[in-house]
């Protein structure tokens, strides 16, 4: 078969034969680069390479680097490291947001939606949007609730933005740090498998806050029963995203620790929601008894498995 | 033959030149430098100050016109400058002062808050677009975002004029319409300039923070209420 005329095609065929015989053999790719986000003109290069490099260890490392799936594209002080954290498309972000809105019992958010590509775009901009939506909606609701009052002078209440920003960003970043540290420590002592990386934890928390954005906008409607219904619905959805994500990890731990961890997650989430509601959406009447109704509703998603 | 020899040895005629050690060699080496354009741009030290300022103002004004009639031009990107954004930011922050009960913390944004929101917001949006793989440079993006605040500043001036005639429902409706229109104009203008520098499947991810940025500024303008 080695006729000189077909030399060029022959090489190609030979290479293709070699590859089909051993799909894991490392191959050289000319078009992909180590930093897929920098090649602005070739977004599909990473996907094309993925077909060839799947089995071999070295090849796998190379392919995951090329896909940007691994976060270690350089140290954390380089710009490329952070660029690999923003390696998402619009469709992927919308998909993840949808996943946080509809938690199904079979679908672990991290495994199903993140798929080893946690991003920081979602958590960051969801937090920023939430800060402004809570502050603006709170301002609007105060304005609307005192429309009939002639002595009320409208004030922008701009300091609320600062407070909202501090609270929400602290929640979205410190709680995942604490949770991740705790889970890693437990994983180390109990020899569990399947822990989540820090970025995945931050990602889950960030996306789980998305439900509060439409909720805070709907809180402008000033009927107390509607507000409490909305807050309960939002907490159930958001809390179940978190519970479904973290339950498989803590399930193997001792019963007490597992339940305590999950309950802490849920309680902190509840505190955030109720705190936001009470501070930003103050109305004349104060309803403290309603606050104790919310936590007992939460064990139902846990026991339903 | 002698000429052939001389031709083959170009420096042959110099072989018998000798310089006596007592005579110092001196002279001028003068290279005539004509007025080149490169020199003109750098040697602006001697021109009157008015000319310098007018030139910068003209550049800023030119970019304002590009913002007001946004087409896909590269004027803003090619000669970016940050004078325009600074001017607009200071104007916006100054005009948002004098609101209801400035010293009270229930009032509107302070000067520093407006400044921080505009500059910090622009920096964050620029970082975001660079992290998403944009090809625009840092300062070009800051320049575009800053210049596109112009419609909102105009809206604020209009709002203040409208508020002079009272702050009833009619004036609120007018202000709402003006601010909404200028917010849409700002967002449209900035996306017209930033559009080409990103991948098509990430454009929405880049445009959304810009939308949020101008929305917040529009909100600050709309909720501005004059002091008693």
Domain boundaries, chain A: 84-98+106-146+155-285
Q: Which residues pair with B226 in a beta bridge?
A: B99
- Digit-coded pLDDT (tens) for A131-144: 988 888 888 888 77
Residue B83 belongs to a domain: yes
Residue B155 belongs to a domain: yes
- Average per-residue pLDDT for chain A: 70
What is the Cα–Cα distance from A273 to A209, expressed in whole angstroms?
10
- Digit-coded pLDDT (tens) for A151-171: 666 666 777 778 888 888 888
What is the Cα–Cα distance from A31 to B102, expressed in whole angstroms?
59
- Average per-residue pLDDT for chain B: 79
Q: Is the pLDDT of residue A5 over 70?
A: no
Residue B40 belongs to a domain: no
Domain interval for residue B139? 49-63+73-92+107-223
- Digit-coded pLDDT (tens) for A193-246: 556 778 888 888 888 888 888 888 888 887 888 888 888 888 888 888 888 888
Q: Is the pLDDT of residue B62 over 70?
A: yes
Residue B158 has phi, psi (to 5 degrees) of -60, -40
Residue B17 belongs to a domain: no
Residue B99 has phi, psi (to 5 degrees) of -80, -175
Domain count of the fold of chain B: 1
CB A201 within 8 A of CB A176: yes
Residue B147 belongs to a domain: yes
- The pTM assigned to this predicted structure is 0.69
Residue B78 belongs to a domain: yes
Chain A nearest-CA distance from B45, in A, is 39
Mutate one of A158, A164, A217 to test the B interface: name it (highest B CB count within 10 A): A158
Residue B108 to residue A158, Cβ atoms within 8 A: yes
What is the Cα–Cα distance from B214 to B125, expressed in whole angstroms?
11
What is the Cα–Cα distance from A72 to B77, expressed in whole angstroms?
33
In A57-86, the residues whose Cβ lies within 8 Å of chain B are 82-83, 85-86
Average pLDDT over residues A88-111: 79
Alpha helices in A191-298 (DSSP H): 198-208, 212-218, 224-250, 255-280, 288-291, 294-297
The three-class DSSP label of residue A90 is: helix
- Digit-coded pLDDT (tens) for A61-82: 444 444 444 445 567 777 777 7
CB B223 within 8 A of CB B95: no
């Amino acid at each position: 078969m080695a006729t000189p005329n077909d030399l060029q095609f022959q090489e190609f065929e030979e290479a293709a034969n070699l590859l089909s015989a051993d799909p894991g053999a490392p191959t050289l790719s000319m078009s992909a680069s180590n930093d897929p986000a920098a090649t602005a003109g070739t977004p599909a290069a990473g996907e094309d390479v993925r077909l060839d490099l799947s089995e071999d260890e070295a090849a796998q490392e190379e392919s995951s680097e090329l896909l940007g799936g691994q976060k270690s594209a350089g140290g954390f002080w380089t710009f490329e490291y952070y660029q690999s954290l923003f390696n998402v498309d619009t469709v992927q972000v919308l998909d993840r947001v949808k996943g946080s809105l509809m938690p199904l019992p079979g679908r672990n958010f991290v495994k199903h939606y993140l798929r080893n590509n946690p991003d920081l775009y979602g958590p960051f901009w969801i937090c920023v949007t939430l800060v402004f939506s809570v502050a603006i909606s709170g301002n609007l609701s105060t304005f609307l609730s005192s429309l009939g009052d002639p002595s009320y002078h409208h004030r922008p209440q701009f300091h609320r933005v600062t407070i909202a920003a501090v609270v929400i960003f602290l929640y979205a970043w410190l709680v995942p740090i604490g949770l991740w540290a705790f889970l890693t420590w437990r994983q180390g002592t109990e020899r569990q498998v399947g822990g989540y990386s820090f970025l995945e934890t931050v990602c889950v928390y960030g996306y789980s806050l998305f439900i509060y954005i439409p909720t805070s906008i709907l809180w402008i409607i000033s009927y107390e029963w509607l507000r409490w219904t909305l807050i309960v619905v939002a907490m159930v959805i958001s809390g179940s995203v978190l519970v479904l994500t973290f339950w498989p990890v803590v399930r193997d731990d001792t019963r007490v620790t597992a339940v305590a961890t999950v309950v802490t997650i849920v309680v902190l989430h509840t505190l955030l929601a109720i705190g936001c509601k009470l501070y930003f959406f103050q109305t004349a009447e104060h309803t403290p008894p309603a606050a104790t109704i919310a936590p007992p509703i939460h064990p139902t998603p846990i026991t339903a498995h | 033959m002698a000429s052939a020899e001389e031709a083959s040895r170009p420096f042959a005629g110099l072989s018998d030149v000798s310089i006596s050690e007592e005579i110092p060699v001196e002279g001028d080496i003068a290279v005539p430098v004509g007025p080149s354009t490169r020199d003109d741009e750098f040697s602006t030290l001697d021109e009157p100050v008015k000319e310098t300022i007018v030139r910068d103002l003209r550049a800023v004004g030119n970019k304002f016109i590009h913002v007001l009639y946004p087409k896909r031009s590269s004027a803003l990107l090619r000669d970016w400058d940050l004078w325009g954004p600074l001017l607009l930011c200071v104007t916006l922050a100054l005009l948002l002062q004098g609101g209801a009960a400035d010293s009270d913390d229930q009032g509107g944004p302070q000067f520093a808050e407006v400044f921080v929101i505009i500059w910090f917001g622009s920096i964050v949006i620029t970082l975001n677009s660079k992290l998403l793989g944009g090809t625009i440079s840092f300062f070009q993006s800051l320049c575009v975002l800053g210049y596109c605040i112009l419609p909102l500043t105009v809206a604020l001036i209009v709002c203040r004029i409208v508020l002079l005639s009272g702050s009833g429902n009619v004036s609120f409706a007018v202000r709402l319409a003006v601010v909404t229109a200028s917010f849409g104009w700002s967002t449209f203008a900035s996306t017209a300039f930033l559009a080409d520098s990103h991948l098509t499947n990430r454009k929405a991810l880049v445009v959304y923070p810009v939308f949020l940025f101008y929305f917040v500024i529009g909100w600050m303008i709309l909720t501005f209420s004059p002091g008693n």
